[in-house]
Structure 1
Amino acid sequence: MLKRSLWVLLAPSLVLAGCTKIDEGDTAVALPEIAAPELSVETMKSITEELSSDAYEGRAPGTAGEEKTIKLISEKFAAVGLEPGNKGGWFQDVPLVGITAKNMSPLKISGGASELSFAYGSEYVASSYQEQPKIDVADSEMVFVGYGITAPERGWNDYAGVDVKGKTVVILVNDPDFGTESLEGEFGGRAMTYYGRWTYKYEEAARQGAAAALIIHDTEPAAYGWNVVESSWTGEQFYPKSENGGADQTKLNGWIQKDAAAKVFAAAGQDLTAQMAAAKKKGFKAIDLKLKASASLENDIKQTDSKNVVGILKGKTRPDEYVIYTAHWDHLGRCKPAPDGDDICNGAIDNATGTAALVALAEAHVKAGAPDRSIIFLAVTAEESGLLGSKYYAQNPIYPLSQTVGGVNMDAFGMAGPAKNVIVVGKGKSGLDRYLEAALTGDSRVAEAEPTPEKGYYYRSDHFSFAKLGVPMIYFEGGEDLVEGGREAGEALSKDYTENRYHGPKDEYDPNWNWEGVMGDLKIYYSVARMLAMTEDWPNWNEGDEFRATRDESRAGN
């Protein structure tokens, strides 16, 4: 496989993904023949290294690092032959508010036998979505609302019978089916639904009128350790600009360490473990903890227009039908320092690699000539802040979503080397799976469903912003069943990255990385989108999928 991956780069005309038929309902759709292209590893290396250098200061939106980043991307897009994608310009303004908390108080809990106090950073973190210079939550009654879910279509309401207006809600991460072995259950069994994501939990707490929301951090259901929470939630946070300055949001959103939460529950005369078990059952009733929470902070507030970068390769026969590539250019900027004092979260893997891939793929598509449909190359901002750049584009599309055939998202290329498989996040959701299967023809790799659907990766990258509005998107990545070392080695490397580099200062460029697996994956990214740009097919979400109705409604308007 090592030799074969290298050989593919040297002999681009040999591997074909064509002469394949896919079944869309009762209609067989022939896919065009697509030769695996010659993709530039030097483009991948040079752009990844540049974007993740200290000079870019971690690529936080609204900083000098952003200015350097979007300038580089637009220059590279132009150099490879793309056209500006927004009415003659390269950029789409994304109105954001940057809020940096300072002078954070401890989290104080009163009402028990003695007052509890938890330190900011090491035991809890919090920020405010409200554009107010001073945030003060004082003696706010605390209510445990289980998983914090209101899902009438599933007959589930954790807020039933309780008024949390002005109160602090305490919430479990993930959803009630977490920990089951199968994919069957009220919330998709082992697979996380959007109800399990922290973004949903804060949204629902605000809809319920809560003053503050605290999610109990637990490493396994969260899918990352406290170090990731601390580095991601300290420093400047970005939110969509709103007319009311976030007045309809909670005053304070944050996380609390599980050990700290256990002390809170003990002070309330409750056992956290027992209540976590109770919250998994339908009919769970929220619990008044009979405690009060107090915390305060001050905010530095900055209005900023961050930017998505948009390039386009116009189609030759159907230029008003669009295929889209997405990758986020942003990272965390300066964050909690490593033991050696390094405080720049460089984001080399996450996601300088994906941004470099946009350029390398654009280069290859331009060299191959214009396809029938147009291809959009979209580098989005503020993914790390809750998919804000992709959400803004999806809600304010430059090219109509009803005319966007589908797309491919790229987020963090692993450097473990060639694998025997590719992992599809959300396998089985749409007809795009068949394009991936065709692209893998002759590649001796197999497409497998993500092994850890409980981690909710489907809801953690930019494809989700488009999926919610009906556009079929596929998100896949190199697998962990490595040619050298198998699954054991792949899982070990993945764990090492998550625990020691992900969202931390040590996600840095390494000149000794093995790029063979990345370049093999990049060939597949090329083939899937190129096939989609050369066919007349309009793939859809599969029958019964959560996004099918939205897509059907969108397409019916054409």
Structure 2
Amino acid sequence: MRSFSLLLAGAAMLSVATASSAAPAPAISVDTMKRLVKELSSDAYEGRAPGTVGEEKALALLVAEFQKLGLKPGNKGSWFQDVPLVEITAKNVTPLSFTGGKATVSAAYGPEMVVGTYQVKPRIDVKDSPVVFVGYGINAPEKGWNDYAGLDVKGKTVIILVNDPDYETQGLEGPFNGRAMTYYGRWTYKFEEAARQGAAAAIIVHDTVPAAYGWNVVQSSWTGAQQVADSADGNAGDVPAIGWIQKNKAQALMASAGLDLATLTAAAKKPGFKAVPVGAVKASVSFDNEIRKHKSKNVIAILPGKTAPDEYVLYSAHWDHLGRCEAAPDGDDICNGAIDNATGTAALVALAQANVKAGPPARSLAFLAVTGEESGLLGSAYYGENPVLPLNKTVGGVNMDALSLAGPAKNVTVIGKGKSELDAYLDRALKTQGRVGTLEPTPEKGFYYRSDHFSFAKQGVPMLYFEAGNDLVEGGTAAGDAAAKDYEEHRYHGPKDEYDPKWDWSGTLADLKLYYDVGRELAETKAWPNWVQGDEFRAIRDKSRAGQ
């Protein structure tokens, strides 16, 4: 640890010598991080679900902290942006049953399947719906790939595989970027496309490796109250019933129709795959919905810039978590979300504190704490579609989600490395610490589409998102990978993601210094970083900037 401290001390000196501002960067306060993470993840906040007492407490805490620092409310005199949501809680859920095959296959809600809806309706009733296996459920004209080609699934139940057809490829070459997941591989896309096709139910087959998490994560995330975006038509265009099923149950389903899931999966990976009706099998499931409309909130605070106050650099993190969830064996049913994402929320305050100490930069800094990330990036998506600050005046920024407490690392894992010119800003910050930015070791997990930076990217705003490196100073990649696996299997989206007074904060502080340096340089420069030529978001950015 001492050698890493010396490394950081030397890095700080180099940073002072090379930064655009002559003033040394203030230290990020570990006391602020500890205090706020402990508070936000305490049982009193009940897991910070939107629309609960946990939201009220989290918002009050953030506003109090930002006020103490002298920041300004960012939305026309208000600290908040209302985000219209609907809380839907499934009740009286019947088993998902498949009849008409050699034997009836029934999957119990919770341990074997989960189901819900985006539709704002008091009851969902899918009865005797013909079942079709649609492979990966992808319709990508630009890739010449359509799993729904020649198929009418109106009123039918579609069974879908998670991830992309080429996720097992070792390299990054293939119709869907090889091992690196595209948006076509995300569960959110699967349900969106099934809705466009008119399906009555869409069920994804859970498989731990391509899903990137175990069934425990699915069960804890999909049971209990669910948040969905509100709309004038009550989301009538969405699939009535959406959910997941355990792989062994999907195997039994296919076997009941004389089919083999492994054979079907192999066929679905190849171009030209044709959807397969699952014999005469029909699906049924029903459930009642408790519905509560409410307005959750994004929080936005501003440190006004000195010379270009109408240009903004953004720091974002989501304040929400799952609230009460599937109980652990000891009866604990609060998903506290200490790492995910009390750490990122606390970091917004700690970074604001450091920037206030340094004095206002040229451009304004905006600190945005968004709601509904755990429900599908709802708060950031709403902000992107209804921006408080003009998008063509938003220079770019950084997003923080689930900071690591595994100890200092020699690297950081850059999510979406090579997509934008922000990489160069991060590289300069990394150089001052003697560290490097590396590609994702598990690109098949699709992290680029799993946090709030994606909502801003879709609007053309370049956002940097990196995760703590896996090459730890003590123990190397073996220790880093083991720590990540331990968190994913035992705490991620579960009741044991709790504050630990024994955490090692040194690596976290080093990463926060990177976020500080990148944001500060963006706020002091006159440059407008863009996406690289050919990137999917480049044209959106160019159009936005041209219209300023």
Query: TM over 0.5, yes or no?
Result: yes
Q: Give the SS at the match of 1:14.
A: helix
Greater displacement, 282-291 / 47-56: 282-291
Deviations 1:432-461 (A, max 9, x none): 000001111231111111111100000000
Q: 2:239 corresponds to which letter in structure 1?
A: T
> Is 1:38–2:31 an aligned residue pair?
no
> Is 1:393–2:379 an aligned residue pair?
no
* Residue matched to 2:181: 192
- Residues 334 and 344, structure 1, Cα contact 8 Å, conserved in 2: yes
Q: 2:182 corresponds to which letter in structure 1?
A: T
Instruction: Give 1:115 deviation, angstroms.
Output: 1.4
CA distance in 1, matches of 2:202, 2:25: 49
> Is 1:14–2:2 an aligned residue pair?
no
Q: 1:472 aligns with which of 462, 478, 482?
A: 462
* Residue matched to 1:142: 131
- Residues 427 and 433, structure 1, Cα contact 8 Å, conserved in 2: yes
> Is 1:219–2:208 an aligned residue pair?
yes
In structure 2, the gaps of 5 or more residues are none
> Is 1:201–2:200 an aligned residue pair?
no
CA distance in 2, matches of 1:32, 1:237: 46
CA distance in 2, matches of 1:161, 1:493: 47
Instruction: Give 1:19 deviation, angstroms.
Output: 4.3
Q: 1:312 aligns with which of 299, 302, 313?
A: 302
RMSD: 1.4
Aligned residues: percent identity? 66
Deviations 1:489-513 (A, max 9, x none): 1111110000000000000000010
Change (3 A) 1:33 1:255: farther
CA distance in 1, matches of 2:147, 2:441: 29
CA distance in 1, matches of 2:87, 2:464: 31
Instruction: Give 1:477 deviation, angstroms.
Output: 2.0
Q: Give the SS at the match of 2:106.
A: strand
Q: 1:535 aligns with which of 515, 525, 532?
A: 525
Deviations 1:171-208 (A, max 9, x none): 00001111001101111110000000000110110111
Q: 2:271 aligns with which of 278, 282, 291?
A: 282
Q: 1:545 corresponds to which letter in structure 2?
A: D
Q: 1:229 corresponds to which letter in structure 2?
A: V
Change (3 A) 1:34 1:230: farther
- Residues 333 and 344, structure 1, Cα contact 8 Å, conserved in 2: yes
CA distance in 2, matches of 1:486, 1:38: 26
> Is 1:523–2:498 an aligned residue pair?
no
Q: Give the SS at the match of 2:375.
A: coil
Deviations 1:355-406 (A, max 9, x none): 0000000000111111111111000000000000000011100111111110
CA distance in 2, matches of 1:477, 1:130: 34
Q: 1:195 corresponds to which letter in structure 2?
A: Y
* Residue matched to 1:418: 408
Deviations 1:72-112 (A, max 9, x none): 01111111221111111111100000000011100110110
Instruction: Give 1:36 deviation, angstroms.
Output: 3.7
* Residue matched to 2:232: 243
Deviations 1:224-277 (A, max 9, x none): 000000000000001110111111111100000000000011112111001111
Instruction: Give 1:8 deviation, angstroms.
Output: 4.2
Change (3 A) 1:34 1:18: farther
Change (3 A) 1:148 1:330: same
Q: 2:64 corresponds to which letter in structure 1?
A: E
Q: Give the SS at the match of 1:331.
A: coil
- Residues 408 and 472, structure 2, Cα contact 8 Å, conserved in 1: yes
In structure 1, the gaps of 5 or more residues are 21-30
Q: Give the SS at the match of 2:434.
A: coil
Q: 1:385 corresponds to which letter in structure 2?
A: S
- Residues 12 and 432, structure 2, Cα contact 8 Å, conserved in 1: no
* Residue matched to 2:110: 121
- Residues 310 and 393, structure 2, Cα contact 8 Å, conserved in 1: yes
- Residues 96 and 303, structure 1, Cα contact 8 Å, conserved in 2: yes
> Is 1:265–2:254 an aligned residue pair?
yes
Structure-2-length-normalised TM-score:
0.98
Q: 1:167 corresponds to which letter in structure 2?
A: K
- Residues 318 and 374, structure 1, Cα contact 8 Å, conserved in 2: yes
* Residue matched to 2:497: 507
Instruction: Give 1:33 deviation, angstroms.
Output: 6.4
* Residue matched to 2:86: 97
Q: Give the SS at the match of 1:554.
A: helix
Instruction: Give 1:15 deviation, angstroms.
Output: 3.5
Instruction: Give 1:39 deviation, angstroms.
Output: 1.1
Q: Give the SS at the match of 2:192.
A: helix
